[in-house]
Amino acid sequence: MTISEKAAYLKGLMDGLELDTQKAEGKMIAAIVDLLEDVTKRLTAVEDTTIAISDELDEIEEDLDAIEDYIMDEDEDDDYEDDDYEDEDDYEEDFDDEGFDFGDEDTTIYEVECACGNVIDFDEETLERGSIVCDKCGETLEFTYDDEEEDG
């Protein structure tokens, strides 16, 4: 039996007893039954609203999943390619415009690929030293540092 059915049953019992609602006991029982009816109506409304909200949340979750799938598929298709940016500064500017913080903006990070295929990132200090050791194969990679900037 649902709560609504139980409240209706109690009202029927009260009506069947033909209580005198002019006396104290009858007034009290009638007030309790009225209260139960009101509580039942409100509870039913809350249950209906909860079901509607739950259905809406399920739809929103499905929409968000579809958006996430779309974004993830797009990210896989549009991975960063070296051809998209003429130099590293263009790449960093795209992210700086979006509010990303990469730390000290004056630090330039270089990268070199070892013969073993390992890509090593290093800063200007390492570049000035003239060499770096590959942490994968142990080979020493040597390079020259030219401090002149090209005008362009």
User: Same domain for 86 and 39?
Assistant: no
In terms of residue numbers, what domain contains 107? 82-142
Selected residue with higher pLDDT from 124 and 91: 124
Domain for residue 22, yes or no? yes
What DSSP element (H or E) covers 40?
helix 24-77
User: Same domain for 95 and 63?
Assistant: no
User: Same domain for 45 and 73?
Assistant: yes
Rounded average pLDDT over 80-86: 51
In this structure, how many other beta carbons lie within 10 angstroms of the beta carbon of residue 146? 8
Nearest CA-CA partner of 91 in 111, 67, 69, 114: 111
Domain for residue 98, yes or no? yes
* pLDDT tens per residue, range 52-80: 999 999 999 999 999 999 888 876 665 55
Domain for residue 147, yes or no? no
Q: Domains in the chain: how many in total?
A: 2
User: Same domain for 88 and 69?
Assistant: no
Domain for residue 136, yes or no? yes
Distance separating alpha carbons of residues 16 and 78, to the nearest angstrom: 76
Model confidence pTM above 0.75: no
pLDDT of residue 15: 86
Residue that is last in its domain, among 44, 77, 110: 77
In this structure, how many other beta carbons lie within 10 angstroms of the beta carbon of residue 10? 16
Domain for residue 127, yes or no? yes
Domain for residue 149, yes or no? no
